[in-house]
Amino acid sequence: MLPDIKGTCPLVEDSFSRFPSQSNIYGLCKADEQELLATPLKGKVVYKATPFLNIYCDYEPGSKFNLESIAQSCLNLALQFTLFQLYHIEYVIVSSETVFLLSGNDQCIHLYKENASLHQFEEQPVERLFPELQELPSNVLWLNVLSIEQNRRLIAFGCQNGSVGLSLVNQKGPEILQNWRVKHDSPICTVLLFPSKQQHQSTDTKNLQTIVIESSLFGFFPHRDVEKYGLSRQLCLAESGQCDAVLCALVADLDFDGQHELLLGTYGQDLLCYKFHQPMGAFEDKLQLLWRRSFKSPLLSLIYLDLDGDGLRELAVLTLKGLHILQHSQRTTADLVLHILSTLVSRLPISSKDPHTHTHTRVQKSR
């Protein structure tokens, strides 16, 4: 039996009873800076299945967050296609705006943008903001966008027929600077774009090498420095031949060293963690397998976020049979914080006005 712990759960449950009867939620998408929530659904009807998109927004500035009021402000958009992925991006036109990108089985990407005068979202031609998403080779299963320096963006997508597209775009205009295409023998499950290091940890942003990861049912294909070489520089992934199909991937700094780790969830029930490592005498670093962890069912999704509000993120692993929450070791994290504090204290300047009043600061671990 669990011990009796006093406290309140920081999460609130809402039934969102405005959903039609027997609705299936296929995904959720929350904008980072605004109280926006979008979810694609598919309602079961006797003779016809009607997919639609719900967008929730609290339009009262300065008002206190109210889950019920957001549920009541639902914007319901009927869809004429079967939906695959919902994605959002902060796009700067005059000011920063949230736009939603929705892919479906009609071989198109649909753009939903807010009409400020009507205070509601509506579909707009995707070529106005994303000309690189026209004339797609197949249905897009996965899409990822990365903003880079000089007001440019990289956008990558994976298709049902195995095609992978990568575009470099100047966001002023916008103008397509370059396109790359490659094709594999099976559908693309996941596509990720990320810099090799966290940008706030590197002073030389021009030398940050952007990595693109593409995963199909028969392989996992990482490419590096894609701004310069496109999809021609493929990396070797250690022990990847021993794994089953990769169904999900995530990039996160799990050890707090400012460099990304790459997490892969497989149909073979394994969670793999890779990190860039430069062997002695090598000209460039390689992806090295750090650890692997097995589960009891295939892994479907990964997300790294602070679930309990303590300032430390947890890794949520969704499998076919349940949700697993992996936490950092509190002792290891505390030791790391103490080490960082000790380093910062040692760098503090010592006043030379009165040498007899120096204060020696020491960081001790509480017992």
What are 241-299's pLDDT values in tens digits?
A: 677 788 888 989 888 888 888 898 988 899 999 887 766 655 566 788 899 999 999 99
Which residues of the chain, if any, have pLDDT below 50? 1-5, 33-35, 42-48, 200-208, 352-354, 357-361, 363, 365-367
CB contact at 8 A, 110 and 104: yes
Token reading at 51 = 């997919």
What are 112-150's pLDDT values in tens digits?
A: 988 878 777 889 999 999 999 999 999 999 999 988 888
Instruction: Give the contacts of 6 (CB within 8 A, at least 6 positions apart).
Output: none
How far is it, in rounded angstroms, from Cα 104 to Cα 123?
14
How far is it, in rounded angstroms, from Cα 159 to Cα 84?
11
- Give the Cβ contact number of residue 109 at 10 Å: 22
Give the single-character DSSP code of 229: H
> 279: cis peptide before it, omega within 30°?
no
- Set out the domains of the chain in order of their start, with CATH numbers: 81-235 (2.130.10.10)
Whole-model pTM: value is 0.75
Closest CA to 27 of 63, 51, 62: 51
HSE, side-chain direction, 13 A CA sphere, residue 230: 11
Query: 365 — phi, psi (to 5°)?
Result: -85, 125
CB contact at 8 A, 239 and 268: no
Token reading at 155 = 């956008």
How far is it, in rounded angstroms, from Cα 264 to Cα 277?
17
Q: Taking the alpha carbons of 310, 312, 316, 322 in that order, is the dihedral positive or negative?
A: negative
